[in-house]
Chain A
Amino acid sequence: MSGDPSAVEVRGVVKRFAGNLALDDVSLVIPAGQLHAIIGPNGAGKSTLFGVIAGEHRPDRGTVWVAGRDVTRIAAHRRVRAVGVARAFQVARIFPEMSVRQNVAAAVIAANGSARQFWRVKPLRVASVVADEALERLSLVPVAGRPARALSQGDRKRLEIAMALVLRPRLLLLDEPTAGMSPEETAATVELIRGIWSLGGLTVMLTEHDMQVVFDLAQQLTVMDRGHVLCSGEPETIRGRDDVREIYLGRAHGAA
């Protein structure tokens, strides 16, 4: 291989939960800088795949490579800084009792290493300023002083993305970024993700149920079903495949 290593490479990963195969020999390569969507019905293994890439789950077999580095045995919190992985969860995970600004400040001090300071108060003040810049980009400034638990679901997800971005990630994992959002919020989030990605230097992986979002955003798709990778390719190619239509698109349209 020459030039840039791929952003993510998953090689023959097997993951069982209490005997159930969640990932069955999954292999996947995602080139650096791509905006890539993983789709598939519920229980296909999308979230587990994210968990394996981010370090939440350790695969029973196979290896995970991020930015050309084997991270299979690296703990989740180390992956954040070692290879620049950041992630947002399907149900946004935030610090509920802290203010929105404090949430982002926690991410800032985690990223710049000042979190270890247990005597000086100043780095926290600096972090607060940096946090405000991030909040401005995501238009969360009006709610910066509110406790995070008071936010709407859409704002929570935006806050989580803001926290992920101050980590300056090279790989951003977004699990269902528009789940539970109104059509307006969804449209704004699509623009937001496109905007972040188009700044360059960032690989984005997302899972999504909303096909409109997927076809608006993704350069490439991977379709998963029951722990397998069914196929990968351009959105137009994928759309034309009968097997995909059958296992996923057909059902999704039926359900919607």
Chain B
Amino acid sequence: MSSPRTAGLAVLRRPRAPAAAGLLTLGVLAIAWPQLVGSSALFFWETTVIAVLFATSVNLLFGGGRIPSFGQAAFYGAGAYAVAEAASRSWPVPLALLLAVVVAGALAMVTSLITWRAAGLAFAMLTLAIAQAIYTLVVQVSWLGGYNGIPGISVPALAGINFYNPANLWYLDVVCVAIGMLVFWRVMHSPFGHTLNSIREDPVRAAFLGVNIRAYRAVAFTIAGCGAGLAGGLFAYVNQVVTPDSLYWTQSATPIIMLLLGGITYYWGPAVGAVLLSALLNYLTQATTNYLLYIGLLLLAVLIVMPRGLLSLPTVVSDLWSRGRVASGSRSSGARTGLVPVGSSTDTVAMPGEQDQENPP
């Protein structure tokens, strides 16, 4: 019935068995993973699942509400520094991660209030600037270690489990990421997520349904900030060092590349993109000093050939196939592959009330 690609109501009609089987497989893999890949490769996989969570949180903004934030590194870094500080005071793990989520969420909320009126490109550039300001600040603050950051972060034992054992650290990592992923799944499929999608599709229509679009964007931004904070906090534990690099703006761009590679309209798109890009970076940085070139070329190729990401590959292929069979079919294949995106950036309208003066809050 409904298009399986759009989140929201459609999912209620989706058969449950394959989904359950898929999740079960993922779970089994997660448990067996330390034995499968060996402890030396585990660090790479720990950072990769963190990237999965980070990219998924960013997709609540880009895919969920078309909120183009280029400053998510600020919240990722905030979470990382929060855990670093908490770890140096030997806070228990759940409390430290909670602190990461709260600090990052609060910072995101403040940012969303500063950028309240901006939308589109202006929002993208403002969030970028704010994140860079935070980076500049952190570099100068001596108790956060300046350029050197905070080294020697250790994970205190939790309920008798010690995390010097690499496998245990992996399990902690995976469980936290899974919780985060579950939260984002619920949010994206809740009435809030549906409303956010409607804002993505047409903010003016949404406003005239009575939706306070700026408030919804701000809340989404805060939730995404919390997710980035959790990812950053986990990274601090896994990496054992936090440097200002985790706040640098290229750190904001990485998850965006991931979710565009995988596909912005799919829940699992960012995850697929994160695994792919992490693996590729891992390989390229060993094989060549010139990896930026190849990442750039790959990104361009995906953007041009499959603007909806790699997960749209089946649609693109089946579309080309049916186009081949029905030489001049009546249905527009372009619209299905996303080669002709809905709503071009030229289609600008004034926000209600914005035309003249600002809305009272």
Q: Which residues of A contact B (CB under 8 A)?
A: 54-58, 60, 73, 75-78, 80-81, 86-87, 89, 93-99, 101-103, 105-107, 109-111, 114-121, 123-125, 127-128, 144-145, 147, 149, 163, 167
Minimum CB distance partner of B212 in chain A: A77
User: Which residues of the partner chain B approach A110 to less than 8 Å between Cβ atoms?
Assistant: 195, 198, 206, 209-211
Minimum CB distance partner of A81 in chain B: B210
Residue count of chain B within 8 Å CB distance of chain A? 46
Is the beta-carbon distance between A109 and B210 smaller than 8 angstroms? Answer: no
Option from B10, B186, B353 in Cβ contact (under 8 Å) with A121: B186
Option from B9, B192, B216 in Cβ contact (under 8 Å) with A99: B9
Is the beta-carbon distance between B12 and A75 smaller than 8 angstroms? Answer: no
B327 within 8 A of A: no
A54 to chain B: closest CB distance in Å?
7
- Given contacts A99-B6, A109-B195, are A56 and B186 in contact (CB under 8 A)? no
Option from A78, A114, A119, A125 in Cβ contact (under 8 Å) with B12: A125
Is the beta-carbon distance between A76 and B353 smaller than 8 angstroms? Answer: yes
Task: Tell me, in angstroms, the Cα distance from A98 to B3 when the chains sit together.
Answer: 8
Q: Which residues of B contact A (CB under 8 A)?
A: 1-3, 6, 8-10, 12, 186-187, 189-195, 197-198, 201-202, 204-213, 216, 219, 223, 265, 335, 342-343, 350, 352-353, 355-357, 359-360
Option from B10, B190, B198, B342 in Cβ contact (under 8 Å) with A117: B190
> How many cross-chain pairs have Cβ atoms below 8 Å apart between A and B?
161
- Given contacts A99-B9, A128-B12, are A80 and B208 in contact (CB under 8 A)? yes
User: Which residues of the partner chain A approach B223 to less than 8 Å between Cβ atoms?
Assistant: 118
Is the beta-carbon distance between B335 and A149 smaller than 8 angstroms? Answer: yes
26 A-B residue pairs with CB within 8 Å? A75-B353, A76-B207, A76-B208, A77-B208, A77-B212, A77-B352, A89-B205, A93-B205, A94-B205, A95-B205, A96-B201, A102-B10, A105-B8, A105-B194, A114-B191, A115-B194, A116-B191, A116-B192, A118-B219, A121-B12, A124-B8, A124-B9, A124-B194, A127-B191, A145-B3, A147-B3
User: Which residues of the partner chain A approach B216 to less than 8 Å between Cβ atoms?
Assistant: 115
